[in-house]
Structure 1
Amino acid sequence: MLGGLGRRRIRSIAELVFAVFLFAAFGCTSAVGGEIAGADQATGTISGSATQADQRPNVLLIYLDDFGWRDCGFMGSDFYETPHLDALAARGMVFTNAYSSAANCAPARACLLSGQYTPRHEIYNVGTERRGNPKYGKLEHVPGVDTLPTNIRTWAHQIRDAGYRTGSIGKWHVSNDPLPYGFDFNFAGTHSGSPPRGYFPPHPKAPGLEDAPDDEYLTDRLTDEAIGFIDRNQDTRWMLYLTHFAVHTPLQGKDDLVAKYKQKPKGELHNHAIMAAMIQSVDEGIGRIIARLNQLGLDEKTAIVFTSDNGGYGPATSMAPLKGYKGTYFEGGIREPFFVVWPSVVEGGTKCDTPIIQVDLYPTLCEMTGADLPQDQPVDGISLVPLIKGAGPAAEPRSIFWHFPAYLQAYSKSDGQRDPLYRSRPCSVIRRGDWKLHEYFEDGKLMLFNLKDDIGESNDQSESNPAKTKQLHDELVAWRKATGAPVPSKPNPRYDADAEAKAIKRAM
């Protein structure tokens, strides 16, 4: 037994899928078994080599964009094909209650890199302008900032200082350039949140992509660059942040794959042919990277973390039975697929149901690599290494938080949000154990859900369970005070209640 929780080995991918959805208890089931001189920013190479005594792993962090909780086979997709991801997940520990720290791209990435919740780095949304029709929101939003402050030390700084070569390949989105944030090598990373001009050339102002061949698919090129980085640094310790643009809009797949999925029978959960083609390209690329690690003899020396920045793109995919999608603070907007493969540390086919959040990756990556935590800035997460090693969760559940003092307009579909005009209005959210509380600032509405019994957040218990509502709300208010979280309160002078009511009626 681990902390009073049962230990279980999952023997197949099919059983892993079954376990993800049917196990209700929170806990983990697991068996446990450089140098920085001479760096060359142009090539991503480094002189020197790790000593034999240095058993710290290389680390590959694969971070997808708008990839939903069920958008891969090991999480239950009945249409998308992800055999390489499924096989990789079966080699490690799958976290079934893993969360992004925000429901859309830029704030999620800022939280990941800084290890801080949004009130600390103040990136709340994509851009600082008000999103949506200003007539339809009662409050002035909190604009925040659109660039991660350079005085924040990321985990890349810490890991580089510990002797690793660091690289960022793909989407960056929190500044103009990753290099000031602890990375030795950047390919394609800019402030852009979408693929530059799409997944096919031209790619203006994207470093390294200026002369891309006309028929080159962006996802494939990022895979090539990842393999190149690994090849150049095979004799030292490296940390690679492979941050795909996929599967962010525009929805564009390779013609042969799109044709394949148009002919495939539709699933009950998923059926979007272009999304399926984009996902297959990601999966094939991951398969190529794993094959190269094997060829270089690095497969047993490399830890792999896989996750995504927020929920799936609502018009093209589904997170059911979760409610919501990218941009909402219901589960479908923030719960992510997540696994860790760490040879000789995690036994394959294990799982963890303990709630975790992506600010936890900062201390986790530092502990995995032997890097120090920064001494002069807060880190809001906790290291997941004890969970990964099978030590089990703490006796009491901890709380995790989200804060979004802004507006995010609706997609064409609106069945996974509070109202049809916005995916989210200004709000804060807390989860503690099985319980999750939403607070919306425009109307003061509190919504309480028990996720163990109601994963789809359909049964609001805020009135029937006032004690739990008050307990979580008091804690949420205290957390906001401790982090300096701004709560919008200034009335929006452009707000038009009649126009809003008419717009809601038209959209219903």
Structure 2
Amino acid sequence: MKNSVFFVLVNILLCACGASANAPSEAEVFSSAHTTPNVLMIVIDDLGWSDVGYNQTTDLLETPNIDALAQQSLSFDNAYAGAANCAPSRAVLMSGQYGPRHGVYTVSPSARGNAKARKLIPIKNQRGLKTQVITMGEALKSAGYATGTFGKWHLGADPDKQGFDKNVAGSHQGMTFHYFSPYNLPNIKDGPKGEYLTDRLTTEVINWIKTPKDSPFFAYLPYYTVHTPLQAPEQVIEKYRKKGIKGEDAKYAAMVELMDTNVGRILTMLQAEGLSDDTLVIFTSDNGGYRTTSFPTPIRAGKGSYYEGGLRVPLLISWPGKIKPGLDHTPVINADFYPTLLTLGKAEQPNQALDGVDLTDLLLNQQAINSRDLFWHFPVYLQAHHARTDQGQDPLFRTRPGSAIRSGDWKLIQYFENNEFELYNLANDLAENNNLASQKPNKVAELKAKLKAWQQQTGADIPTELNPEYDADINQKMIDKILAKKTHH
């Protein structure tokens, strides 16, 4: 392949010239002018920040293939999803835009949870990306890429209409109810009875990548796994039971292992087909994991929350010979993928605002990007999933309507119901246990002004209409009742 020839030439030059002053350094080799890469983007559904072996705080889960990929990748330990649950995060990724620009804030409806506990009428949710939004798939297709999506789309009825030549199992549907065939999913033919969906999607993407093409490919692989329902072959579940892992945790561990096995299948195929050196691989999750099987110690909360456990995700980016492996602490967000792939894929900027930043120089040349703030907007309600473990602001909701900003090591969360603020210093309080808002009024004022300016710039809808069904006394009684149960347990 091209990159292999390049390194042979470099070695010949080094041998001929010895250790001359003109010999390229390792950094210069890695930062050479890039060819247009193939792109494989793997997005796992609901995989928690610490649910991968290289980033684990326990030995519950086994991910040897992802751990091996991490050794060959630039790993980001401050990587964020664009939202804390499925559809809005994917909308940010595929549009390159923050939520207020496209209006996908949650999985509809936006008024979730007990009506008597909702003080405000939430902003109505946009279901899927409007067709006028130019997706990452459309942008890369216009640049000559073959485009395929394999798995959960969740942004429209058919990704064929949103920039993808090939679609397997993608639709408006946000989850599968059957990981074993028959799947009862749109846009995929059932396989043999008992076939496992994660295996099948992997086979589909492998076969598509191996099909001869006259152009580079963009393979988007948004697995349905490890989203509920927790289903896996019994023999894999039993492996974890024998390790002493019980109940749903054993099923979750089995799903994670099978996901990892299939990632390994794809990476092995790229190597066997001579495609590894010409393929940029991105591995990440769409949001944090559920706090019933995924406990992302030491960070707080999980899917649906705007604390770190709902937003912080694993992120690996690999391109052998081009991106030097290592660990990077730069705060990045999945909106950054769009402008980065435009540059790497030599695609034109679409006629729409892009909120992410181009990471090309960071990836290829190890040049720090300019410091910038990250933002989230969630003007809707998301009910508690498991009140005793959710670690939300209160036990009735994973999130009440609000916005958030990360600025340097500081994070400010604004809640719209009572215009309350929480301030955390992530450098020394990653668990977000110590709300410093009352102690640091100047920092609150600074970040509040930045957040307000961003809300105005993006046209963020902020709910202000009071909900006539709301009952403050009932709301507090429900909170007190759950807290009493938690104390008892």
Tell me, yes or no, whether TM beats 0.5: yes
Q: Does 1:242 align with 2:221?
A: yes
Q: Which residue of 1 aligns with 2:347?
A: 371
Q: Does 1:296 align with 2:273?
A: yes
Classify 1:482/1:145 alpha carbon distance in 2 versus 1 (closer, same or farther; 3 Å): same
Amino acid paired to 2:334? Q
Q: Which residue of 1 aligns with 2:38?
A: 58
Structure 1 residue runs without a partner (length 5+): 1-28, 34-52
Classify 1:314/1:436 alpha carbon distance in 2 versus 1 (closer, same or farther; 3 Å): same
Amino acid paired to 2:482? A
User: Alpha-carbon deviations, 1:130-151, whole Å to 9, x = none?
Assistant: 1111111100000121120100
Q: Give the whole-Å Cα distance in 2 for the aligned partners of 1:311 and 1:54.
A: 33
Q: Give the whole-Å Cα distance in 1 for the aligned partners of 2:29 and 2:478.
A: 56
Q: Give the whole-Å Cα distance in 2 for the aligned partners of 1:414 and 1:485.
A: 32
Q: Which residue of 1 aligns with 2:54?
A: 74
- What fraction of aligned residue pairs are identical, expressed as a percent? 43
Q: Does 1:91 align with 2:72?
A: yes
Question: Do the aligned residues in 1 keep the contact of 2:46 with 2:286 (CA within 8 Å)?
Answer: yes
Q: Secondary structure at the match of 2:43?
A: strand
Q: Give the whole-Å Cα distance in 1 for the aligned partners of 2:186 and 2:311.
A: 28
Question: Do the aligned residues in 2 keep the contact of 1:31 with 1:389 (CA within 8 Å)?
Answer: no
User: Alpha-carbon deviations, 1:405-450, whole Å to 9, x = none?
Assistant: 0000001234411100000000100001101000000111111111
Question: Do the aligned residues in 2 keep the contact of 1:352 with 1:387 (CA within 8 Å)?
Answer: no
Match of residue 385, structure 1, among 349, 357, 360: 360
Question: Do the aligned residues in 2 keep the contact of 1:62 with 1:307 (CA within 8 Å)?
Answer: yes
Q: Which residue of 2 aligns with 1:124?
A: 105
Match of residue 207, structure 1, among 184, 187, 190: 187
Q: Secondary structure at the match of 2:437?
A: coil
Match of residue 461, structure 2, among 486, 503, 506: 486
**What are the residue-to-residue correspondences of 1:199-278 with 2, within 5 Å?**
199-209=179-189, 211-233=190-212, 236-266=215-245, 272-278=249-255
Decide which structure has greater helix share. Answer: 2
Classify 1:336/1:282 alpha carbon distance in 2 versus 1 (closer, same or farther; 3 Å): same
Q: What is the deviation of 1:55?
A: 2.6
Question: Do the aligned residues in 1 keep the contact of 2:53 with 2:62 (CA within 8 Å)?
Answer: yes
Q: Which residue of 2 aligns with 1:316?
A: 293
Q: Which residue of 1 aligns with 2:319?
A: 342
Amino acid paired to 1:152? V
Question: Do the aligned residues in 1 keep the contact of 2:288 with 2:310 (CA within 8 Å)?
Answer: yes
Q: Secondary structure at the match of 1:389?
A: helix
Question: Do the aligned residues in 2 keep the contact of 1:32 with 1:347 (CA within 8 Å)?
Answer: no
Q: Secondary structure at the match of 1:475?
A: helix
Aligned length: 454
Q: Give the whole-Å Cα distance in 2 for the aligned partners of 1:233 and 1:328.
A: 43
Q: Which residue of 1 aligns with 2:487?
A: none
Q: Secondary structure at the match of 1:138?
A: coil
Q: Does 1:359 align with 2:339?
A: no
Question: Do the aligned residues in 1 keep the contact of 2:359 with 2:369 (CA within 8 Å)?
Answer: no
Classify 1:234/1:280 alpha carbon distance in 2 versus 1 (closer, same or farther; 3 Å): farther
Q: Give the whole-Å Cα distance in 1 for the aligned partners of 2:275 and 2:240.
A: 34
Q: Which residue of 2 aligns with 1:144?
A: 125
Question: Do the aligned residues in 2 keep the contact of 1:406 with 1:425 (CA within 8 Å)?
Answer: yes
Q: Does 1:476 align with 2:443?
A: no
Match of residue 495, structure 1, among 465, 470, 478: 470
Out of 321-330 and 337-346, give the one that drifted further: 337-346
Q: Does 1:325 align with 2:316?
A: no
Question: Do the aligned residues in 1 keep the contact of 2:75 with 2:317 (CA within 8 Å)?
Answer: yes
Q: Give the whole-Å Cα distance in 2 for the aligned partners of 1:373 and 1:89.
A: 30
Question: Do the aligned residues in 1 keep the contact of 2:110 with 2:381 (CA within 8 Å)?
Answer: no
Q: What is the deviation of 1:292?
A: 1.0
Q: Does 1:287 align with 2:268?
A: no
Q: Give the whole-Å Cα distance in 2 for the aligned partners of 1:285 and 1:424.
A: 33
Question: Do the aligned residues in 1 keep the contact of 2:178 with 2:184 (CA within 8 Å)?
Answer: no
Q: What is the deviation of 1:32?
A: 5.6
**What are the residue-to-residue correspondences of 1:378-417 with 2, within 5 Å?**
378-394=353-369, 397-415=371-389, 416-417=391-392
Out of 401-410 and 287-296, give the one that drifted further: 287-296
Q: What is the deviation of 1:31?
A: 7.7
TM-score, structure 1 length as denominator?
A: 0.87
Question: Do the aligned residues in 2 keep the contact of 1:142 with 1:488 (CA within 8 Å)?
Answer: yes
Q: Give the whole-Å Cα distance in 2 for the aligned partners of 1:31 and 1:336.
A: 30
TM-score, structure 2 length as denominator?
A: 0.90
